[in-house]
Amino acid sequence: MLSLNDFNHGHNDVSGHRATALVSIRLGEKKQSEAEEIVGNALVLLLWIAFTITVLGHIFLEPLLRIFGASTEVLPYASQYMRIILLGTVFQTISFGANNFIRAQGRPKTAMVTMLLGAVINLILDPVLIFIFNLGVSGAALATIFSQAMSMTWVLTFFLFG
Interhelix angle 136-161/89-104, nearest 10 degrees: 40
Distance of alpha carbon 73 from alpha carbon 62, whole angstroms: 13
Global confidence as pTM: 0.84
pLDDT at 9: 42
Q: Cα torsion at 140, 141, 145, 146 (round to 10°)?
A: -40
pLDDT of residue 104: 85
| pLDDT attached to residue 159 | 86
Mean pLDDT by 10 residues, the chain (162 residues): 44 60 91 91 94 98 97 97 98 93 90 95 98 98 98 93 80
Instruction: Specify the pLDDT at position 16.
Output: 61
Looking at residue 68, its pLDDT comes to 96
Query: Exposure string (b/e) for 103-139, b if CB count within 10 Å is 16 or more?
Result: bbbebeebbebbeebbeebbeebbeebbeeeeeebbb
